[in-house]
Amino acid sequence: MKSATILLTFFLTASLSQAAVIGSWTQDETSGNLIDATGNHPQGIATGTPTYSTAGVPNGSYGSIAVTNAAGTSIDYGPSNVDEFFTVGADNNNPTMNLLGTSSFTVMSWMNPSAPLGTTTYRPLSTGSAGGADRGWGFGLRLNGTAGTGSTVRFTTYGIADNDSSTFDVAFGSWVHLAATYNNGTISYFLNGNPLDSDTSVFGPIGSANRLVIGGRLGGADGDQVNGQLDGIRVYNSVLTAGEIQAAAAAAVSVPEPSTALFGVLAGLGLLRRRR
């Protein structure tokens, strides 16, 4: 049976490595620190009192994303004038912070936004400091008013540019999936798994004062803090296609289903057991 166990371990490890997920924050915690499900990042330490165990993304269709095996919860942040976010690690050395301006990666998050107090950006994830001169990047939902109209997916190269997708309308109190890919300065935006448009902006080297923050930006600037629920935040160290983003978005908030290949491996394990 030892050989069968090794085979299964190899299969699962290979599957995970092919996924190229370098950070996954499920928001399923019931209290305490925020955990990266991949184990690649230190625990996130809360500032303020985010609300744990709120309802997660339910089954349904969201643009080109179909969620059929929804599981888990979300965390509620905000309002934006109240500091509620998680700081991941005590330095700027982790897989997400180590991404370079020449790197390729994908960042994504589910969000159920509440109405803002004014024009603002809800950032699920940021690698900046309190000052733009320290460079880095941030990703989020730009709300250009309190009605939700004319909103964008925003990818900020701190100290350089606020880069925005084409506009769309947001319904407050409803789940939406945001994603952006970055490839050596080429930024592409996605809403509910559908491609929007692209920009070009290279972010600068991340400074020693920068930190990875979930739910806002280091320093607690009101204009960068989330007001609403977050779920299924992921970072990949490669550029995903629209189809891959759709699959990853659903997987981030679902009970995983065994693949056909895994069923084959499990069937093989059964044969091995019967032959012993």
Residue pLDDT, tens place only, 89-131: 999 999 999 999 999 999 999 999 999 999 999 999 999 998 8
pLDDT at 7 over 80: no
pLDDT of 273 > 50? The answer is no
Report strand pairing: 212-214 vs 228-236.
Answer: unpaired
Q: What is the mean pLDDT of residues 222-250?
A: 97
**Residue 234 above 70 pLDDT?**
yes
pLDDT of 165 higher than 60: yes
Q: Which residue has the tokens 């690649």?
A: 40
pLDDT at 265 over 70: no
For a pLDDT cut of 70, what percent of the chain falls above it? 86
pLDDT score of 250 more than 80: yes
So where are the chain's domains? Answer: 19-256
pTM of the model: 0.87
Task: Report whether 117 contacts 192 (CB < 8 A).
Answer: no
In this prediction, residue 10 carries a pLDDT of 36
Which residues have a Cβ under 8 Å from the Cβ of 42 and sit 6 or more positions away? 36, 88, 89, 90, 94
Give the separation between CA 98 and CA 73, rounded to whole angstroms. 29
pLDDT band at 253, cuts 50/70/90? very high
The pLDDT of residue 272 is 36
Q: What is the rounded CA–CA span in Å between residue 120 and residue 227? A: 10
More confident residue, 89 or 219: 89
Segment 46-71 mean pLDDT: 98
pLDDT at 257: 54
- For 59-92, the DSSP string reads SEEETTEEE-SB--EEEEE--TTS--EEEE-SSS
Between the alpha carbon of residue 106 and those of residues 4, 45, 182, 219, 239, the distances in Å are 35, 24, 6, 25, 5
Which CATH number is correct for 19-256, 3.20.20.220, 3.90.1300.10, 2.60.120.200, 3.30.2320.30?
A: 2.60.120.200
Question: What is residue 246's predicted lDDT score, i.e. its pLDDT?
Answer: 98
Once rounded to an integer, what is the mean pLDDT over residues 36-55?
98
Percent of the chain with pLDDT over 90: 83
Q: Is residue 204 within 8 Å of 101, Cβ to Cβ? A: yes
Average per-residue pLDDT for the chain: 89
| Distance from the Cα of residue 112 to its chain's centroid | 13
Using CA atoms, how far apart are residues 200 and 206, in angstroms rounded to an integer?
Answer: 18
- Please check the confidence at residue 67 and state whether its pLDDT lies above 50: yes
